[in-house]
Chain A
Amino acid sequence: DAGITQSPRHKVTETGTPVTLRCHQTENHRYMYWYRQDPGHGLRLIHYSYGVKDTDKGEVSDGYSVSRSKTEDFLLTLESATSSQTSVYFCAISESGTHYNEQFFGPGTRLTVL
């Protein structure tokens, strides 16, 4: 299994509070991705990174920010959590980010915003 961990695995928070989710990899892969999974929507890309300090927006980036100060860590921050951000969040990594390069997924973080 690819070495990807996510923390925390579960979190309950209140509307308006900041939340940071962490993705950590031990594979030294260049590309890292954050997705959210919601019933009926599959996985939707929030942000991705193609190197240290290099990030770009995905399909549903509003309300989220990311940072990558080290190859192994990719942080997702909800500056002021809302109930619509209740979801399961998955991190993925890819060696080169090209179309034929498999993405490996972490175990997910279940976030509930009350």
Chain B
Amino acid sequence: QKEVEQDPGPLSVPEGAIVSLNCTYSNSAFQYFMWYRQYSRKGPELLMYTYSSGNKEDGRFTAQVDKSSKYISLFIRDSQPSDSATYLCAMRKDAGNKLTFGGGTRVLVKP
């Protein structure tokens, strides 16, 4: 079993809809959680970073962490065709430690 699980998709939504993404993990030592967006043939771009449990909002993006359930989520409001990409979750145990990634979810936002 992988340490971090993520549904590969694709997840197809109409423009303007809310995109809901999530990851589950098995290692309770993870404390730092990140979401990356990756366009085809490009390097991942950091979208959101959260520490421990709670919510964080940045523009159209909201990240949630529920450590008791070992579950993290990313919500994208008012989705745009330019949001079509692969979204990767990542997490680490402490500062300076290696990142462990989920497999990524491909998202398609249709005009």
- The answer to whether A binds B is no
